[in-house]
Amino acid sequence: MLSANINKTEAAVRKYGDSLMRIAYTYTRNMEDAQDMVQDAFVKYMTKAPEFLSTEHEKAWLIRITINICKNHLASYYRKNRDELDENLSVCDEHSTLVDAVNSLPEKYRTAIHLYYYEGYSAKEIARIIGLTESAVTSRLQRGRGLLKKMLGDDFG
């Protein structure tokens, strides 16, 4: 059973690792922490060994678990380091890349924007992954776009 689980998990790491690392990075904003979050997600994958109906289902499950782990991590980190974090998370005036711009958005907009523009999910699919209604996701996408437009000016919209 050990080798079967490991083989399946190794295949999943190779297939979805990059996507999950990039999603985790939008939360943690550093690769070391992102890797820890993704590792926790794959430990859950390995220990729960869920049965999936399709590869889309499998990927969506992993994304959902990764997001939950990141949120829990940030919640506990924020509680411990509230003052320091508030200073470090101030929004920069200039963004060297679009990643920086998106990563400076509040978390709820950032996740929706990343899943929509990078992963190519529809609002309905994002709603299922993060457990919201489709209209809530559409609203987050619109507000996220609005904030990006303000930050990027003529470069967006």
CA distance 38 to 25: 10
Any residues with CB less than 8 A from the CB of 39 and at least 6 apart, and which? none
Residues contacting another protein: total by CB under 8 A: 48
Instruction: Report whether 74 contacts 25 (CB < 8 A).
Output: no
Q: Which is nearer to another protein, 56 or 84 (CB)?
A: 56
Q: Which is nearer to another protein, 77 or 156 (CB)?
A: 156
CA distance 11 to 14: 5
Among 42, 104, 112, 123, binds another protein (CB under 8 A): 42
Q: Which is nearer to another protein, 11 or 91 (CB)?
A: 11
Q: How far is CA 27 from the centre of its chain?
A: 6
CA distance 101 to 146: 12
Q: Which two tokens stand for residue 86?
A: 């508030």
| Eight-state DSSP code of residue 155 | G
Q: Which is nearer to another protein, 74 or 99 (CB)?
A: 99
83 near another protein, rule: CB under 8 A: no
Among 14, 79, 80, 82, binds another protein (CB under 8 A): 14
User: How many CA atoms within 13 Å lie on the side-chain side of 42?
Assistant: 24
At its nearest, how many Å lie between another protein and the CB of residue 83?
Answer: 28
57 near another protein, rule: CB under 8 A: yes
How many CB atoms are closer than 10 A to CB 36? Answer: 15
Q: Which is nearer to another protein, 43 or 85 (CB)?
A: 43
Summarize as ranges the residues that interact with another protein (CB under 8 A): 1-2, 5-6, 9-10, 13-14, 17-18, 21-22, 25, 31-32, 35, 38-39, 42-43, 46-51, 53-54, 56-57, 60-61, 64-65, 68, 97-99, 102, 114, 117-118, 120, 128, 152, 155-157
